[in-house]
Amino acid sequence: MSERKSIHGEWSSQLAFFLAATGSAVGLGNIWQFPFIDGNNGGGAFVLIYLACIVLIGLPILIAEVTLGRRGRESPVNTLRGLALDEGRSRAWVGVGFISMVSGIIILSFYSVVAGWSLDYLLLSLRGAYAGASPDRVSRMFAGLTANPWRQMFWFTLFLAVSLWFSARGVRAGLERAARIMMPLLFALLLLLVVYALIVGDAGAAFSYLFSPDFSRLDGQAVLLAMGHSFFTLSLGIGAMMVYGAYTPNNVSIFRVSIWVAVADTGVALFAGMAIFSLVFAKGLAPAQGPGLIFTTLPVAFGAMPLGSLFGAAFFAVLVLAAWTSAVSMIEPTVAWLEERGWVRMRAVLAVGAVVWLLGMVLDFSFNIWSGVAWQGRTLFELFNFVSSDIMLPLGGFLIALFAGWMVSERSLRRELGVSRPLLRLWLLVLRYVTPVGVLLIFLNALGLIRGAL
Ligand code: TRP
């Protein structure tokens, strides 16, 4: 097989790839979801399971996605088509690419809505809207936001428009530039917030909450959540990392950078958790608030702290920055695919953006005009989240692991990865057996088929 070249361009360096991939990985999943999932599921015990899922399931698939992408050098659909052809496998593998494009679009629709809330809260913080506010008033503030379809629409549209703008500018001038500007800013602001929270907050309580294990709260459901989250947080299962891999220069060490991406991603989640819970505990607030933790509980804590509005603004800025560099990666598989079909990038971005926007409107309305619409006890918003994050991502990741582990020859993988044979073997062993079996067990458990065994 001759060397392929990406028609979309390449990252300018290993650092650029690291920043872009970390930008994709670090998002609302780290700062909004991880802390509340952890808080609801036994703190330290959950962290241990989560770390195991990252190492045994997430990291091997991350390496697989980037490797496949760089080998194929195209959008996930065409990369899978090309590799299946090279290796003499069924063309049906292309289907994985199509599933992934759909999940990316669904995820971005609810992601944009939550990122929109963060933008609204950024402004509220700057205005001092929750300074000294009671929990009751902050709850009403949040309810007021979601009850207002037009205010919600304004913010999520703004968020989406900026994401699309970066996306439209292409790999180097758009995706890479977004990561180069936003990621260092994000790290700096987060560090500042952690230091602030450690000074004014209750670091001891946060630490023992996050890290002291309570195994009695750990059940099959928690394991499922940990696994699902390890996919989501590393942006796996929808070909986002695959297409980022397609833009990676040949001299980049995929193994090394992937490990760093996983470390940075986990680090941000843990640091964000430390900052959030130090503040929440200092004010004696309840940690297990679910999705509302960030938008209803945390502002109460900030509102009661010295310089709380300012640091509150910094917190919501971190959330928005993290979300932007993730958003661009969710639609990249589809945008790249349309480009390969001859569309101009701008047109592809606008078309994908229009679909995301329409879905986002449905979700917007699911909080107000259509709040009565539910299916099996889930609102539309919860349903979108469940189907994409809990079903489509693990399914996509499972199939990608099977493809990379069993369909691609060891020789091709070794050529792409350039690592020593023992290391390659170790990775393949995990990817072939541990990863798919892990995903399968957790699925069966979720369906109630092996309840009690986990
Ligand atoms: N990883 C991001 C987060 O933690 C979300 C994300 C970005 C994502 N791209 C993705 C999730 C692709 C799944 C697939 O918030």
Alpha carbon of 28 to ligand 1 centroid (Å)? 8
Alpha carbon of 199 to ligand 1 centroid (Å)? 31
Q: What is the pLDDT of residue 345?
A: 97
Pocket test for ligand 1, best of 30, 233, 294, 389 (most atoms within 8 A of CB): 233
Residues with CB under 6 A from ligand 1: 24-25, 27-30, 107, 232-233, 235, 238, 240, 326, 329-330, 393
- In the predicted model, what is the mean pLDDT of residues 60-89? 96
Alpha carbon of 314 to ligand 1 centroid (Å)? 22
Q: Is 28 exposed, middle or buried (0-12, 13-18, 19+ CB in 10 A)?
A: buried
Integer Cα distance of 339 and 355 in angstroms: 17
Confidence of residue 375 (pLDDT cuts 50, 70, 90): confident
Alpha carbon of 200 to ligand 1 centroid (Å)? 31
Integer Cα distance of 271 and 194 in angstroms: 7
The residue nearest atom 7 of ligand 1, judged by CA position, is 326
Please, what are the domains in the chain?
14-453 (1.20.1740.10)
Give me the residue label for tokens 């996605």.
65
Q: What is the pLDDT of residue 418?
A: 85
Alpha carbon of 418 to ligand 1 centroid (Å)? 27
The per-residue pLDDT for range 148-174, each reduced to its tens digit, is 999 999 999 999 999 999 999 999 999
Q: What is the pLDDT of residue 371?
A: 85
Alpha carbon of 42 to ligand 1 centroid (Å)? 24
- In the predicted model, what is the mean pLDDT of residues 175-193? 97
- In the predicted model, what is the mean pLDDT of residues 424-433? 95
Helix (H, G, I), strand (E, B) or coil at 450: coil
User: Is pLDDT of 451 > 60?
Assistant: no
Helix, strand, coil percentages (3-state) for the chain, rounded to 5, are: 80, 0, 20
Integer Cα distance of 407 and 94 in angstroms: 13
The DSSP string of 22-73 is HHHHSSHIIIIIHHHHHHHTTBHHHHHHHHHHIIIIIHHHHHHHHHHHHHH-
Joined tokens for residue 228: 């699902």
How confident is the prediction for the chain on average, in pLDDT?
91
Q: What is the 3-state secondary structure (H, E, C) of 355-384?
A: HHHHHHHHHHHHCCCCCCCEECCEEHHHHH
In degrees and rounded to multiples of 5, residue 307 shows phi and psi of: 60, 25
Pocket test for ligand 1, best of 114, 318, 330, 387 (most atoms within 8 A of CB): 330
Q: What is the pLDDT of residue 35?
A: 85
Closest approach atom of ligand 1 to CA 28:
15
Q: What is the pLDDT of residue 2?
A: 53
Contacts of 133 (CB under 8 A, 6+ apart): 141, 299, 300, 303
Q: What is the pLDDT of residue 288?
A: 67
Three-point CA angle 336, 259, 163, nearest 5° = 35
User: Is pLDDT of 269 > 80?
Assistant: yes
